[in-house]
Amino acid sequence: MRKTYAYNGITLGILFGIAAWAATSNGAVGIAVAVAGSVICFIVIRAIENAIYKGAEKAGEAITRKLDESHKNKTQGQAHD
């Protein structure tokens, strides 16, 4: 299982909520911003993680393919010698 940093989005949302509460002096607005901010930040961080993971997988597959081709070419070259 991959490690995720998406739960940090909850902390960010709470901080946004505190800032909104301080800016508006309205607790309900602060709570609404905290909840919405937590959900949005969690989803955004998770999407970024997934994109990075998929890119890393593709890069790993490309490297493996190149190494396999290189090994195959070397072994074929040795067979002709």
pLDDT per residue as tens digits for the range 29-74: 999 999 999 999 999 999 999 999 999 999 999 999 999 998 888 8
- Torsion over CA of 26, 31, 36 and 38, rounded to 10 degrees? 130
CA distance linking residue 30 with residue 18, whole number of Å = 6
pLDDT at 3: 83
pLDDT at 34: 97
pLDDT at 73: 84
pLDDT at 80: 60
Nearby residues of 60 by Cβ (< 8 Å), 6 or more positions away: none
CA distance linking residue 39 with residue 74, whole number of Å = 52
